Structure 1
Amino acid sequence: MDDHPQLRFAWREEIIDQEVSALHAAAFGGDGQVEPWAERLDRYSLGWVTARRGEELIGFCNVITDGGRHAFLLDVVVHPGHQGTGIGRSLVLHAIEECRSCRVEWLHVDFEADLGDFYMADGLFRRTTAGILRL
């Protein structure tokens, strides 16, 4: 039995609501309530990237679209036990490449100030002004 299964990334891989909900709860401290991820992804997403070690989901990011030129990177998450290993960066890079092949012209991302270095590293994204309203 392999104690260190290979890390693999996939675009639009089938997911199970419980596994994505559990990953979000582990990373963001949620209550673990199961959310309807598969339904949301099917309805609103251009695609999503999963990162797995063996069968275990350890990373995820979602790309939603306006149906035209714009896409939005959301829900970039890596299990706390695997953070700081480059998995988050790889999720974002995979999402960017898939968006290019889908002919999206603009990929937007917003983030908390403490994550700026992650998203702005190596000139992947450039800073813009944006607004947000909590409803």
Structure 2
Amino acid sequence: MRIERNEKIDLIELNELLSTLGWGIKDVDKLENSLKLSWGWITARDENNNLIGFVQILSDGIKHAYILRLLVHKEYQGQGIGTKIIENMLQWD
């Protein structure tokens, strides 16, 4: 598994991950606007480079940060992927 911060993300791919959890968005432009308002995000990818995890972060850039959404693909839940994403997030300067 590969975890990356603020990697360029394909909105269709992200929406497909959201859809696996019943959270798909009909207007992908809204998803793009949401990402633009973010402080950052972290992705998790499997060995085939498929997006399997995602967290979106809102922050004032000083002291406070909020997790807007933490997603792990249904087929990968219970394997510690969400935990690894959060651990990575907590190391962010």
Distance 1:50 1:38 in 2: 15
- How far the C-alpha of 1:66 sits from its partner, in A, is 2.6
Q: Which runs of 5+ in 1 are unaligned?
A: 1-6, 102-135
Question: Structure 2 CA distance, aligned partners of 1:90 and 1:34?
Answer: 30
1:30 to 15, 23, 26: 23
Q: Identify if the C-alpha distance between structure 1 residues 32 and 46 changes in structure 2 by more than 3 Å, giving closer, same or farther.
A: closer
SS at match of 1:45: coil
Partner of 2:55: 61
Q: Secondary structure at the match of 2:90?
A: helix
2:43 maps to 1:50: yes
Query: Residues 50 and 57 of structure 1 are in contact (CA less than 8 Å); yes or no, is this contact kept in structure 2?
Result: yes
TM-score by length of 1: 0.61
AA matched with 1:17: L
Aligned length: 91
Segments of 5+ residues of structure 2 without an aligned counterpart are none
**CA separation in 2, counterparts of 1:31 and 1:78?**
14
Q: Which position in structure 1 is the counterpart of 2:69?
A: 75
Q: Highest CA radius of gyration, 1 or 2?
A: 1
Q: How far has the Cα of 1:46 moved from its partner?
A: 1.8
RMSD (CA atoms): 1.7
After TM superposition, the runs of 4+ consecutive aligned structure 1 residues lying more than 3 A away are 36-39
Give 2:6's aligned residue. Answer: 12
Distance in 2 separating the partners of 1:90 and 1:55: 17
Partner SS for 2:91: helix
Equivalent residues of 1:17, 1:34 under 8 A apart: no
Where relative contact order (Cα < 8 A, 6+ residues apart) is larger, the structure is 2
The CA deviation at 1:39 is 3.7
- d(CA) in 2 for partners of 1:56 and 1:38? 19
- Normalised to the residue count of structure 2, the TM-score between the two structures is 0.85
Q: Which residue number in structure 2 is paired with residue 90 of structure 1?
A: 84
